[in-house]
Structure 1
Amino acid sequence: MSASLILSSEIIVHKEAASDAWDLWKNCGIGGFHREVYRGESDPQRFLELIALPAVEAVFFVLEGRQDFARNMRNNMASDWHQQVLALVNEVKPGEAPLPQAEKLQLRYIEVPLSVQDEYLAWRKSTIFDVVRNATRVSSFAAYHTLLSMQPGVMFLSAFEGDTVSYSKDIFETERYQEIVKQAGSRFIAGGENGLYTRVFVREES
């Protein structure tokens, strides 16, 4: 049962401050909201936070209630806040909680031109979603679209356990999926195949 709205926040911290910054990051409670925190697998200086929202207006309550936390993080940060609100479109493989609970989380992002969006939404049901439904390594999978963002597009949240290399080879590096990527790149992804990016994060109890 995936959250219908998510506030997603990413930051990059200074290497020398990473340990202290992570302690602040994972221990920042937000009463009444389901929250999960993750750290970049290949880039441990990149932090990700997901907060399930009951309504879009709740963003203001979250930000207002964490001004001290934001100030305390400032000196540790090598970036500004990268934040966006994601809206659920398809829950392909439901999880047991509003936010992904598996050991690892892969974000897969593309921007789809609005002129082909309806065609894309129909196409992915028999291609991407069919692969994911039959992938035993995937614990949960949900398709979100950006509701408020400077980087509009589609964000897939794919949760999984275990080794990332074998997970990727078993699902996203197969001959079938590579053909799907080629189809999407020529028809649906702004900028072609180069418009697809993926990041893997490791979950930690918040």
Structure 2
Amino acid sequence: MSARLVAVTEITPLPNRAEELATRWARSSNDLPAERRGVFLSLDGTSVMELAGLERLEDLAACSPAWPRLEAAFAPHLAADWRRQVLGYVESVKPCPTPLPETPYLQMRHVEVKPPVYPDYREWRDRTIYGVVRRAPEVEVFLSYHSLLSTEPGVMFLAGFSTDPDSYSQVFATEEYRRIVQEAGDTYITGGAAGLYTRIYRRIAP
């Protein structure tokens, strides 16, 4: 069952250091079970991210003992400070039996929705975005979360897939989906269609 909370920790390594840091991070340890933790490297090599699947905020204590050690070890190799946020589970369009998607690839899709239209947005996305996802065999896992503690508030979708990233990206490159994005930008998204953020990551084996 998908985690009720997901703690997202992300770093921006200096050029040519991302793969090394991702591997070191994946091999590091904290007090979480292995199935509740994953380290991912963005395909463009600019970001390394850890996801921690939690059931309650108190479970963050299982992550935090490792933070000072990692921060000290990685400090000489980072271009920006550590970024952390906690996401709260909303719903599963394509569920996974584990706390986090275990697919080789993961896409993070983020939008900030204007609060007055959020209830309408929930109904609209079930008819539009979720319709595309349900029909696409390339999308194996699709989970909806919403920021609980974050300086980047809004909706975050976690999409897991195993096919090559180019084939997966074609699911969202159709004329139908372009119309969906435009409608979202016109009606729901803070900052318009440009407010849609997506990034694809590759899971790093310990």
Q: For 1:36, which of 31, 35, 38 is the aligned residue?
A: 38
Residues 1:70 and 2:71 are matched in the alignment: yes
4+ residue runs of structure 1 moved beyond 4 angstroms?
none
Residues 1:3 and 2:3 are matched in the alignment: yes
Name the counterpart of 1:182.
182
Name the counterpart of 1:15.
15
- Mapped contact 1:24–1:73 kept (Cα < 8 A): no
* In structure 1, distance between residues paired with 2:175 and 2:123: 22
* In structure 2, distance between residues paired with 1:179 and 1:69: 43
* In structure 2, distance between residues paired with 1:24 and 1:73: 9
* In structure 2, distance between residues paired with 1:155 and 1:18: 23
**1:24: Cα distance to partner?**
2.1
* In structure 2, distance between residues paired with 1:26 and 1:50: 11
**1:45: Cα distance to partner?**
3.6
Distance 1:122 1:13, change over 3 A: same
Which residues in structure 2 correspond to 1:1-206 (within 5 Å)? 1-33=1-33, 34-42=36-44, 44-169=45-170, 171-206=171-206
Structure 2 residues not aligned, in runs of 5+: none
* In structure 1, distance between residues paired with 2:80 and 2:201: 18
TM-score under structure 2 length normalisation: 0.93
- Mapped contact 2:89–2:146 kept (Cα < 8 A): yes
Deviations 1:48-91 (A, max 9, x none): 11001121122244213432122212111111111100111011
What residue identity is the alignment partner of 1:119?
A: D
* In structure 2, distance between residues paired with 1:22 and 1:71: 15
Deviations 1:133-186 (A, max 9, x none): 1110011000110100001000111111122122111x1111211111111010
* In structure 2, distance between residues paired with 1:123 and 1:17: 41
* In structure 2, distance between residues paired with 1:158 and 1:181: 17
